[in-house]
Structure 1
Amino acid sequence: MYETDEYDYEQERYVPMPEVTRKPYLTYALLAINVVMFGLAHLAGGTEDPDVLLDFGAMFGPLISQGEYWRLLTAMFLHSGFMHLGFNVFALFIFGQSVERSYGHAPFFLIYFLAGLAGSVTSYLFNSIAIAAGASGAIFGVVGALGAFLLLQRRAFGKHAQNSLIGLAIIIGINIFIGLATPGIDNWAHGGGLVAGFILGLALSPQYRRAGTMFGYRVFVNTSGSLILKWWIVPVTLLILALGVIIADRRLPENAFTHYFRAERYYSQGDYGRALDSLDLAIESGPIGAAQSHLLRGKIYIEAGNYQLARQELGIALRLGSRSIQVEALEALRTIPNR
């Protein structure tokens, strides 16, 4: 057997990828987790209810900026509606198996979670005032890693890699077009995940070589390199993501929710005057989150003994609020003495 770096496109026939026998257990586990989380959220009130999604850990910039950084991770396991779940589960089933078999379990794990976090951080940077959920960033990262793998192994696998790479590029292009043409899709998360997955894939990809034998060309894995030496990409990625979060925290624009959270802090400190001032700013910022602000104003007026204004504020919260806010407003109304 002899090794060769020469590549003769004229004599190329078809060089199959070597059979990979490892089972994609992590892909199956991730599929199961996503489905289970969807079912739990559905039972809790519906996967398209923003309050339910937030309760289960969806991304929301104002909450993340208050220290709830875990949302950058938990949002990867939530989906809004059956169609959202269906598309992502199908994509993960198709591409996840291929990447896990090609890279191995540990590299696949790193690619999935780091690319998913990259998608979340990118969304936090550029789409901070939106409730975001979904595994799309991580799945785009898996697709990016597959593209990196095919690009690196294009000499080893010949036309097989070339054709697969072209097909993958078409799929990515179609998804980008759909994302740009459809409102409500978090394209920032998709792009951040895709880029991170591609870079991680370049760093963590196994190396294959074509070798000529008496039976023709075959492809073999080059196992001489240590995987640990490739994992420098992990701390570097985590450092970049941490810097991204710090920047996102500082550039979060003033909005209804930042005023509301400030009011909550004043309320907990017993500073009702400053809390009401912040709530005025929150309501003036727009209708988003107005029900919460009116609810808190009602509670403040109850504690101040101004029951007439409290009833007015809680009535507005009942009219504008979601189910959970309505329940809380009704409970607050029951505490008002009958006079």
Structure 2
Amino acid sequence: MQVKAYGAQSGDHPLEPMRIQRRDVGAHDVRIDIAYCGICHSDLHQARGEWPGTHYPCVPGHEIVGKVAAVGAHVSGLRPGDLVGVGCIVDSCQHCVDCEAGLENYCDGMIGTYNFPTADAPGWTLGGYSQQLVVHQRYVLRIRHPEPQLAAVAPLLCAGITTYSPLRHWNAGPGKKVGIVGIGGLGHMGIKLAHAMGAHVVAFTTSEGKREAARALGADATVLSSDPAQMAAHAGSFDLIVNTVAAPHDLDAFLALLKRDGALTLVGAPATAHPSPNVFNLIMKRRTLAGSMIGGILETQEMLDFCAEHNIVSDIELIAADQINNAFERMLKGDVKYRFVIDTTTL
């Protein structure tokens, strides 16, 4: 089946309308009518060939929400009309230790929602800037938010799980002091989630003007990370810091804020490496410098259910498809609070 989509024909051309092929619904497949798709920085990097290995045409999008349109003969628990989502994963080996643990995001055979190899035409996956998607039922997530919130749920499929996973893994909650570095698409979700978990939340920003925004999102305090005095006031006091910034910067400044056995977890992916941290900032207090990447399917469903229970959605700006290229440029300038979402009915 051919459907409308928006994608890039090359890295040096803007995204444009196109038609793409979707496979027939197999026995274990679900066809989804996509209602909304969030825009992630990863979409821009991949579409513009700034990350290696982009296949063209490239149709980005891995923050997908919509309704079930059809199900295969062996699909159970899903039926037409159900509100569902698809995140960053549409396949995996399903039998390695990671998949068996529900951590398909770390499977060596993980297939991402776009630009990963597949038997479907054209030979690589095409993402959610499109009208429909066909995906194995294992990777379809139930959405329990009310339908009017659906557009704002879309970014939870990437920004939400990317921050939820480290917060859960490092046990953010009552009695824990948690820092969130950066108040953008990822960071604003990290603040909301850590607050809902009951942690004492401190937001770090380089912008004095974001203090009020951080407070509105649920931060108990905000630190201007470019001010040494403000940073020093929090030395040795954090259980966990989740760093969402996708640009190289000094990690030692944040390592020094951790308690003994505290963790600094990186979820932002800069194009070039961070400066190497001073090893003594790690060994003297048994601190951990760690990384985390999205989350598995079970954890992503857990995150969606948690967000529905606590009425958490992303702060978004809804756009039509013909505004995508402008949204890319604005995103590069940080001119969005805090996530663009495409209304795919405008394709």
| TM-score of the pair, normalised by structure 2 | 0.25
Larger gyration radius, structure 1 or structure 2: 1
Higher strand share: 2
Q: TM-score, normalised by structure 1?
A: 0.25
- More helix as a share of residues: 1
